[in-house]
Amino acid sequence: PRVGVIVVAAGSGTRLGQDAPKAFVGIGGHTILRHALRGVFAAPEAQVVVVAPAGREGEALTDAREAAGARAELVSVVTGGATRQASVAAGLAALWPAVQVVLVHDAARALTPPAVFERVVDAVDRTGWGVVPALPVIDTIKRVDGDRIVEAVDRSQLAAAQTPQGFRRDVLETSYAIAAEEFTDDAALVAAAGHRVAIVEGDVHAFKITTPADLERARSLAAPIPA
């Protein structure tokens, strides 16, 4: 396939505070990873690299094969690193030669609809730029210094970034090769390397499961996965 999706699932989920790593916490009898992969495999065909926590590769492969169905030959699992950036790098190293467009997706955005994947790939194809799905910021945002409000921030200049973030493979690989610090997301890393990045419309369901309240919300929103 000409598209590759790296699903980073190697985090520990400290803020979620469950006993399993976040990707293996349950939503309605299936793991967060399994839900995330449902969206990935409902999108157009792609190589899928799941980046799992060390020691959990087998479980990740089971979830991935189940989610892949007839596309099982497109799936592989690699071991993640100490940071998200290291985990993405591990995923990049597993891409097949034919892949030209790479999407990097957080397993923790378990309910991301397939349309977002399509939108991002289309925009990368059309522009050659990095592409980030994003939503307008709804809350009133203040810049603060301790507990003192310094100023209001103009919301129209802000966007909340989600994943999957998409890039031309050569752009993402060269940007990773020269990255000299930790970046908050792939878009920031690619922008720091001098490449252009644009936004497309995100989706409310692509929120990241970070806290116990997010998990509750995901559990109330998730459609059951058919047996």
Contact status: 39 vs ligand CTP (CB under 6 A): no
Q: Which residues, including other chains, have CB under 8 Å from residue 105's CB and lie 6 or more apart? A: 5, 6, 7, 8, 36, 40, 112, 117, 163, 164, 165
Alpha-carbon distance of 38 to 23, in angstroms, equals: 13
The partner in contact with residue 9, picked from Mg ion, ligand CTP, none with C-beta cut-offs of 5 to 8 angstroms by kind, is ligand CTP
Shortest distance, position 163 Cβ to Mg ion, whole Å? 13
Contact status: 171 vs ligand CTP (CB under 6 A): no
Shortest distance, position 118 Cβ to ligand CTP, whole Å? 21
Shortest distance, position 106 Cβ to ligand CTP, whole Å? 4
Nearer to ligand CTP, 63 or 106 (CB): 106
The partner in contact with residue 80, picked from Mg ion, ligand CTP, none with C-beta cut-offs of 5 to 8 angstroms by kind, is ligand CTP
**In one letter, which amino acid is 115?**
A
Contact status: 9 vs ligand CTP (CB under 6 A): yes
16: DSSP letter? T
Q: Positive or negative, the Cα torsion across 166, 171, 172, 173?
A: positive
Contact status: 132 vs ligand CTP (CB under 6 A): no
Q: Per-residue contact track with Mg ion, 11 to 30, x per CB under 5 A?
A: x-------------------
Q: How many residues bind ligand CTP (CB under 6 A)?
A: 23
- Extract the tokens encoding 85: 């950036």
* Beta strand segments in 137-195, E: 142-145, 148-152, 159-161, 165-168
**In one letter, which amino acid is 88?**
V
Helices 169-178 and 84-92 pack at an angle, to 10 degrees, of 130
Nearer to ligand CTP, 12 or 201 (CB): 12
Of 68, 60, 61, 12, which is closest to residue 40 (Cα–Cα)?
A: 68
Contact status: 83 vs ligand CTP (CB under 6 A): yes
Nearer to ligand CTP, 145 or 181 (CB): 181
Binding site for ligand CTP (CB under 6 A): 8-16, 22-23, 51, 80-84, 87, 106-108, 208, 210
Binding site for Mg ion (CB under 5 A): 11
